[in-house]
Amino acid sequence: QYIGASNRDNTPIGSNEQYPVNFVVPARGTYEILGKAFSESSSGSQAGNVVSVTLENIPGGSDMNPAHIIRECLTDPDWGMGYAESDIDDVSFMACADKLYFENMGISILWDRQTAIEDFIKEIVKHIDAALYVDRFTGKFKLKLIRFDYDENTLLELDETNIDKVTDFSRPAFGELTNSVSVNYWDSETNTDASVTLQDIALAQMQGVTINTTVQYPGFTNKTTATKVAERDLKTLSTPLITCTIYANTDGASLNIGDVFKFTWPDYEVFGVVMRVTGIAYGDGKNNRVRINATQDVFNLPDSVIIEPPPPEWVDPNEPPVAVANRIVFEVPYLELVQQNGQTATDGELSANPEVGYVGAAALRPQSNAINARLMTNDGGGFEDIGALDFCPGAFLNEAVDIVDSFGNIVYTFSIKNAIETENVSLGTWCQIDSEIMEVVALSENEITVKRGCLDTVPTKHAEDTPIYFWDAYAQGSPTEYVQSDTIDVRLLTGTGGGELLLEEAPEDSLTIVGRAARPYPPGNFKVNGAYFPSEIDLEEPVLLSWSHRDRIQQTGASLIDFATSDIGPESGVSYLVEAEAIMPDNSTNTFYSENVGSVTSKEIDLSIEVPPTGYAAIVFKVASVRSGIQSLFFQTNRVNVLKTPYDLQAIYTE
């Protein structure tokens, strides 16, 4: 058979060529080949005979049909996975190839990564929005496009009569929806990277702000297709879709990945909602309960789009790569692991091995034609290619940022400059400045409003010109599992149309694993004598330190918890370590008070009893969380100068 714009030996066919293709046809009946009707009488054919058809003006030009690409990857004996043709479900692959041909969804993609071929197949499946799985009855690979191709009245219904329980039910809040989607693709006409952005104008007006996300589809080569998939993704992201896990009886055993069914569950006020299977487990023979991961279905591809293409702004793609100047390397925090792997799997791994840690990195685009960067890591055996890192949006502080203002209020709004692709930042995601992680509340080209000291970090001061990394959706992590005290070297290799930065030309960063993900979050809402971060105190009076509980296990919702929020938790088994540290005039330190005070949220220190050494210039009060001997990544700290002291000092230290 032939469907698409390349024949069986992958020879490309131009969009305006006439090209003869031979088809083996049935002996009787009517049939259709690319829109041309044939029958036994009109062709005079017999079973096994060949009909020759000339194809003209093939949609997609020299792009290849994605169904053919997937099939070739599965069956090619040299570079593919080497499966036999008999392992392929011809009916499903041919149906998908037909549909993709008439959707004009051809792909041309350069794949120069040294990764498993399964990753390449997943990339193609992502482009066309499909499901590839092995049929449990036939043992053959089946390909199913996620489209609006079903009759709702004929669907299987799962409800209280055949469902045992429903877990992990969620529906995004109104403020969590995305109202703008940008699709990056390769424009074959200009031979450059290009992008197209679509917006749900009504949703954006109701939310009062543009919430954008960027999706990479490098295999698409024209704006029409890119716009179609942008509309597809926008519809998905701008709709409050239900997701859940359903435990059904054997009625659910007829479903496969990609199938749709109707779901009714009165406890959640859900009645007859069409859901699509994203994952399924059929039991183990002893327990035949079927576990179905599902999401509400809106995945129908638009039939047509209206495009007004802007004039291309050409940038030479062959400009040689330069090193990444603005970058951060970090140990992946707990919540990021939860978002990637699920909370149950993450908690199980950390419980078994609390010293485990993973390397992550983020970077700002160093030049306009930079496509991405390769993340390279070295734990002592030489550098290894981890994968591609997409550059994240960013900006720079226009002025120094303190923790509190002159009135003692937490500083939440900063002046910024030199914004880089910040139109792609979604509100509610996080950014990082130095070591502090913050949630983005509002953002413009010259100002940002945030929540301070989120996740396992604490609010700190930041200098002017410090970069801001909006890496929540853009960071690349290594799948390699390291343990505490391992040191890993990291380099980022910029990639452009002109090539890739040489390993020896890339700057090197080093990271020592500390088992970050298993560490308890530091306490929040830290105060000294009832105030946030006072600069001076009277030491002739007792000093009252107070704080609020935090719980990393509970803090996995869509909205991050701010530093100043009251009690969350605490996490089971957490106690608090309180320290007081004297700062001498030469900046040397002496910890004169240290006590684990248990699970209370305040401690009064009488410095007339806990006397620091004479001649001190300032005091730092510190509080950290401790669980099973594991301490939080950071202390909450407050450095203060003294107004009065029981000692006759020659000078009072000032910063």
pLDDT tens digit sequence for 555-612: 998 789 999 999 999 999 999 999 999 888 778 888 889 999 999 999 998 876 666 6
Residue 169: what residue type?
Answer: F
Rounded Cα distance between 495 and 319, Å, is: 10
> In b/e form, how buried is each residue of 202-218, taking b as 16+ CB within 10 angstroms?
ebbeebebbbbbbbbbb
Which of the pair, 22 or 537, is modelled with greater confidence?
A: 537
Contacts of 462 (CB under 8 A, 6+ apart): 397, 400, 401, 433, 434, 436
- Predicted pLDDT at 246: 94
Tell me the average pLDDT across 143-166: 90
3-class SS shares of the chain: helix, strand, coil, % to 5: 15, 35, 50
Taking a C-beta distance cutoff of 8 angstroms, is the pair 560, 456 a contact? no
User: Which pLDDT band, with edges at 50, 70 and 90, does 393 fall under?
Assistant: very high
User: Which pLDDT band, with edges at 50, 70 and 90, does 299 fall under?
Assistant: low
Give the residue among 395, 371, 383 at the shortest CA–CA distance from 505.
Answer: 383
- Predicted pLDDT at 529: 93
In angstroms, the Cα distances linking 552 to 338, 440, 563, 574 are 11, 19, 13, 11
Helix axes 117-128, 66-75, angle to 10 degrees: 160
Give the residue among 183, 225, 230, 190 at the shortest CA–CA distance from 59.
Answer: 225
Q: How far is CA 313 from the centre of its chain?
A: 29
- Locate 247 and state its tokens: 């435990």
Asked if omega into 459 is within 30° of 0 (cis), the reply is no
Tell me the range of 40-44, 199-203, 341-345 where mean pLDDT is highest.
341-345
pLDDT tens-place string over residues 624-637: 999 999 999 999 99
Give the residue among 360, 367, 301 at the shortest CA–CA distance from 482.
Answer: 360
Quick check: 157 pLDDT over 80? yes
Quick check: 649 pLDDT over 50? no
Rounded Cα distance between 386 and 479, Å, is: 8
- Predicted pLDDT at 316: 54
Helix H or strand E encompassing 233:
helix 223-237
Quick check: 96 pLDDT over 90? yes
Reported in sequence order, the residue ranges of 47-127 that DSSP labels E, i.e. its strands, are 50-55
- Predicted pLDDT at 313: 52
User: Which pLDDT band, with edges at 50, 70 and 90, does 648 fall under?
Assistant: very low
User: Which pLDDT band, with edges at 50, 70 and 90, does 54 fall under?
Assistant: very low
User: Which pLDDT band, with edges at 50, 70 and 90, does 248 fall under?
Assistant: very high
User: Which pLDDT band, with edges at 50, 70 and 90, does 10 fall under?
Assistant: very low
- Predicted pLDDT at 57: 42
- Predicted pLDDT at 236: 85
Rounded Cα distance between 90 and 75, Å, is: 13
- Predicted pLDDT at 627: 96
Which of the pair, 308 or 181, is modelled with greater confidence?
A: 181
Taking a C-beta distance cutoff of 8 angstroms, is the pair 40, 27 a contact? yes
Contacts of 396 (CB under 8 A, 6+ apart): 416, 417, 418, 465, 466, 467, 468
Per mean pLDDT, which range of 125-139, 255-269, 292-306, 324-338 is the poorest? 292-306
- Predicted pLDDT at 341: 87
User: Which pLDDT band, with edges at 50, 70 and 90, does 288 fall under?
Assistant: confident
Per mean pLDDT, which range of 116-120, 140-144, 428-432, 548-552 is the poorest? 116-120
Taking a C-beta distance cutoff of 8 angstroms, is the pair 287, 253 a contact? no
Rounded Cα distance between 133 and 255, Å, is: 12
- Predicted pLDDT at 325: 95
Rounded Cα distance between 488 and 507, Å, is: 14
Q: Is the pTM of this model over 0.85?
A: no
pLDDT tens-place string over residues 83-94: 999 999 999 999
User: Which pLDDT band, with edges at 50, 70 and 90, does 289 fall under?
Assistant: confident
- Predicted pLDDT at 540: 73
Quick check: 614 pLDDT over 80? no
Per mean pLDDT, which range of 21-35, 355-369, 452-466 is the poorest? 21-35
Percent of the chain with pLDDT strictly greater than 70: 83
Quick check: 395 pLDDT over 60? yes
Quick check: 307 pLDDT over 50? no
Which of the pair, 477 or 112, is modelled with greater confidence?
A: 477
User: Which pLDDT band, with edges at 50, 70 and 90, does 332 fall under?
Assistant: very high
Tell me how crowded residue 275 is: count the other CB atoms within 10 A of its CB. 25
User: Which pLDDT band, with edges at 50, 70 and 90, does 484 fall under?
Assistant: very high
